[in-house]
Chains A and B, each alone.
Chain A
Amino acid sequence: MKLVIINYGSGNLHSVHKAFEAVNNNLENPYEIVVTNTPSEILNADKLVLPGVGAFQDCKNAIHKIDGLFESLEQVVIGEKKAFMGICVGMQLLAEKSLEFGECEGFGWIPGEVIKIEAPADYKIPHMGWNEVTFSNHELLNNISQNTDFYFVHSYYFRTQKNENCIATTKYPNPITAAVLKENIFGTQFHPEKSHNNGKQIITNFLEWEPS
């Protein structure tokens, strides 16, 4: 089985790669982990991970700059329904659009939009640090306790159009989407690769996940 981590120059690529490797090494049947932006490799993936930090538009442009990258992703994730995980901006890109630095279209794989966090004046933006996550039951959140802390760094969040696509939230102090899910497409606003043992558990769950 092949797990592809998409390399389009994202700043957290190395951290994501190392965290997935650390978890993968403990699996009974480890994946072959490939970090790449080559469409032919992506088309052969069994699972995909899209990291992302920085501005929405910059990430989107960086993906579209690589010939055939988005098309191959779309074929594997939408066409062939392979398990996909987006992290931070890699998750926000799933939305129809983002309002960060003007309006910018996303992949449109999950209905909703990415908007600025609205918080009282004494709340710092970005929302940065460890915050508690509550979630609905799903195998992707197996072996995680309610109100467990995960590491967040963001100023915008994904407001899903449908409640069913938001499977985890945090509070700052208003509810903020912490994880999204639609069929084979999973995404976390927090950084599992930086969330210590709880983050590793999320990665384990994703590696063991077989979306029906």
Chain B
Amino acid sequence: MLKKRIIPCLDVDRGRVVKGVNFVDLIDAGDPVEQAKIYNSEGADELCFLDITASSDDRETLFEVVKKTAENCFIPLTVGGGVRTIDDISRLLHHGADKVSINTAAVENIDLVAKAAKKYGSSTIVIAVDAKKNGDKSWNIFTHGGRNPTDIDALEYCIEVANLGAGEILLTSMDRDGTKIGFDNELLSTVSSSIDIPVIASGGVGNLEHFVEGVLKGGASALLAASIFHFGEYSIKDVKTYLAEQNIAVRI
């Protein structure tokens, strides 16, 4: 049976982890490669790096981080943040990313989705969607890291990018992000039941039960979390053990 994936996400700024795990044994807790290694050995199913480096001059550091991570972690690595062109995708893949997530650039230039999927294969292209509720069963997407509103309907957008060849949707609820009150399962189920490609749930997870709900109520194929792992509240193993106890198939 295909397993539900647990994906820890690291925010990386100028090559350093911004919100890090409080791992006692780490020599350098701000080193994303060191943190990735721990997640890798703890049984994470994939890893996700979100580059939040503001200046493009500092972006080179990311490539080095990706390269070193790929040399040490033999699980899929998704890298996103500031991906704007085919050349950006190419460079990330060349340095060892397995998938690249695109957010704002896909909204501004929808052709990029089809071009990227054609060139590198659908499985390589993750479309990241930041959605905020604007009414009953209706969500709009935001760009530029959630700063800029659009009048684009989230569901329609997800259907469109899926048709253009996106391999996965990384769906973040802006209403829930950072709240720890659980995923927006209504958003997740509305999108996941309307498209064939997998949906990764993101935003709002605060306890173990939230992971279960993301699968059972949200219909998510994978569950992404950041702070719940970073602050050491739960380990990957805790999450997987709990999911398994609820009869949800996970890789143990």
Contacts and interface: CB of A to CB of B under 8 A. Distances in A.
To the question of whether A and B form a pair in one complex, the answer is yes
Interface of A: 11-12, 14-15, 18-19, 22, 53-55, 58, 89, 124-132, 149, 151, 153-155, 171-172, 191, 193-197, 199-200
Contacts of A54: 119-121, 124
B124 A124 contact: no
Given A18-B96, A172-B2, A196 B74 contact: yes
A197 B42 CA distance: 12
A131 B1 contact: yes
B178 interface: no
B2 A200 contact: no
Contacts of A171: 1
B70 A149 contact: no
A1 to B, nearest CB: 23
A128 B122 CA distance: 11
Contacts of B93: 11, 14
Interface residues of B, number: 32
A193 B1 CA distance: 21
Interface string B83-94: 000000000011
**A194, A195, A199: which has the most chain B beta carbons within 10 Å?**
A194
Interface in B105-163: 118-124
B213 interface: no
B212 interface: no
B197 A126 contact: yes
Nearest to B43: A196
A54 B196 CA distance: 18
15 contacts: A11-B98, A11-B124, A14-B96, A15-B70, A15-B74, A15-B98, A18-B74, A22-B71, A58-B119, A128-B221, A129-B2, A132-B1, A171-B1, A172-B2, A195-B75
Interface string B219-241: 00110000000000000000000
A12 B95 CA distance: 10
Contact of A199 (B71, B74, B197): B74
Contacts of B71: 18, 22
Contact of B222 (A15, A129, A151): A129
Nearest to A194: B76
Nearest to A55: B121
A131 B96 CA distance: 23
A12 B100 CA distance: 12
A15 B45 CA distance: 16
B118 A55 contact: yes
A131 B40 contact: no
A130 B123 contact: no
B127 to A, nearest CB: 14
B82 interface: no
